[in-house]
Amino acid sequence: MEQGVLAQETDRLQPLSAFAKAFVDSDGLLDAAVTDWYEGYCPQTQQLLRLPRTRAAEAVARGLMQQLARDDCFAREGKMYGVLLVVTHSGSLAVLKAFSGLLRGQRELPGWVPPIPGRERVALAEAQTLAALEAMKQELIELQQLPERQQYAVLAQDFAVRLQTLQRKHQQQRQDRQQQRQVISETLTGPARDMALEALNEQSRQEGIERRRLKQERDAVLLPLQQVIDQAEERIQQVRQRRKALSRSLQQQLHAAYCLSNFAGESLALQAFRQGELPTGTGDCCAPKLLHYAATQGLTPLAMAEFWWGPPSPQGDKVAGKFYAACAERCQPLLGFLLSGLPPVVLPTNAPDELPILYEDTWLIAVDKPAGLLSIPGRRLNQQDSVVSRLRLRHPELAAVHRLDQDTSGILLLAKDPATHRQLSQQMQQRQIHKLYEAILAGAGIPEQGLIDLPLSADPTARPRQRVDWQSGKPCQTQFRRLDRGNPFARIELIPLTGRTHQLRLHTAAGLGIPILGDRLYGCQTSAPRLHLHARVLHIQHPQTGKLLELRTIPPF
C-alpha cells in the first residue's frame, strides 16, 4: 500500500525537461530573474514572506502552455493553471502543476497536484446539497418559463393594439363632432339645435362606454394571468433565498473541512483565515494547492507562475497565455500562512541603482524603465515594486509626470518636488511635451507613413483593455512612420498626438490591422519574450531653466 502511494506522489513531480530548456543558461543554471512576487504576512510574526515568479518559472509555464495547446479540450475550458519549481528530497529540481477548480469535470487527475484534503469528509452532505441546489435551479427555470408569461405578453400586446386602434377612431370622431357642433350652432336654433347637440353628446358617451368595456375585458383576461405570474415571482424570490442560504451553509462546511498546511509544519482550517464569509472557491485555486502539496511532501519551493488558458474569463479580465498574480479575494488571504516556514526573501538594498538614469538634476530625474516594471505602485501587495517606489528611497516627494505600461520600456520622466510636478503636468496637458516611440509589429504590411485617428474608451467588459468607440470615445491620434520593412516584422516609429491608455497598442492593432509584437492583450499570436514597444525620445522645456531638454535612449530590441 505504501509503495503505491509513494509511486502516485512521485508521478506528480515532473522533470524540468518535460516542459522546456530555455529557462537555463549555458552553465545549466536557472534563470532566477524575478518578474513578480507572491506575498503575504506571516500570521504570527507579521513578517512579509515572498515567493518569486521568475523567468525560469515562466518558461516552464510556457512549456505547459504548449502541452495544453496540443489538446482542443483545454482550449474550450477557460481557467487558471500554475506551476511550482521545487527542490526534492534528493536535491534535484522538479515541477508541480495544478489547475483551479475542476478540469474536465474532475477535481483530481493523474500528474496534477490533488485538491486540498478535507472535502471528502463532507462528500455526502455536499452531494445532497448539490442535488438540492440543482432541483432549485430546475424549479427556477420552470418558474421563469411559465406558459402564462408568454400568454400574458401576447394578450397584453393584442389588447394594447385594439385599445390604440379604438382611441384613434374615437379621436377622429371627436374631431368630426366638433365640426358638426360648429355647423349646428351656425344653422340651427331653439329645440332643433338642442336636439342635434344632444345627439352628438350621446355619441361621445357611447364611445366612452366602448373604451371602458374594452378595458374591462382586458382586465378580466389579464388579471388571472398576472396573479399566476406574481405568485411565480414570489416563489422565485423564496427559492433564491433558500438556494443562497443552502449554498452558504455548504461553503461553511467545506471551509471548516479544508485544512491547509505550511512549511513550518502547521495546519489550519480554511474558515480560520478571515472573519466573515469566504468567497466561493477559496482553497481551490492553483497557488494554495501547489504550496499546500509542496509543504506536506517536504518539497522546497523556488518559484511559482500562474497563467490563464482557454477562452477569456467571464469578466474579460483574463486572456490565454498571460501571467497573473494571486487573486486578491481567494488566494491573497492564505499566502502569509502558506509561506510560513520558508526563509524570508529580501529585495537588494541597491534596488534603485538598478534603474538606468538618463538625466538628473535638482528638479528632475529621467530613467530608462525596463519592461516588466511598473511605473507607479499598484493596488495589490505584490505590485509595490515600481520605478517610483524604488526612487522614493532617495527622493521622498518623487512623482511620475506620466506613465508607461508595465510591459513598455523606455524614457520615464519624474519630478522631485510638487511644484516641478505641477509645471510638467501642465506641459503634458497642453501637449507641449514631445514623445516618440519605436515598436516592432507582428507583421509587415503597412504604409510608409500616415495618421491613425480612432477614438478610444475603456472596455467595461474586459479591463484593462481599451476599445475603438465612435459614439463616446475620446479623440485619439497617432502619427506613424515605417523605419524598415522587416521580414516578417516591420519596425515603426510612433508619435502620440494625444495621451490615452493603450493608445499606441490599440491604434496599431485596430488602425494598422497588425498588433505590436508580444502584445497578447490586443491579438498578437506570435510568441515573443516581451512587448516590443519602447519610449525612445522625449522633448520638454525645463520648468526651471526654460531650456529645451532632449532625452534619447536605444530600444533593447
DSSP string, 250-272: HHHHHHHH-EEE-TTS-EEEGGG
Which positions ≥6 away from 423 have C-beta within 8 Å? Answer: 543
- Cα distances (Å, whole numbers) of residue 412 to 102, 336, 355, 479, 538: 43, 34, 11, 21, 9
Spatial CA neighbour of 63 closest among 95, 93, 39, 108: 95
415 contacts 421 by C-beta, under 8 angstroms: yes
Strand order in the sheet with 79-87: 93-99, 79-87, 300-309
Phi, psi (degrees; rounded to nearest 5) at 264: -95, 5
Alpha carbon distance 421, 376 (integer Å)? 15
Maximum CA extent, the chain: 122
Q: Which residue has the cell 339645435?
A: 193
Which positions ≥6 away from 144 have C-beta within 8 Å? Answer: 232, 236
CA pseudo-torsion sign 172, 174, 178, 179 = positive
Q: Catalytic site residues? A: 405
369 contacts 356 by C-beta, under 8 angstroms: no
Q: Residue 471 in 3-state DSSP? A: coil
Cis peptide before 460 (omega within 30 of 0): no
Alpha carbon distance 216, 178 (integer Å)? 28
Residue 165 is placed in which grid cell?
386602434
Residue 510 is placed in which grid cell?
485596430
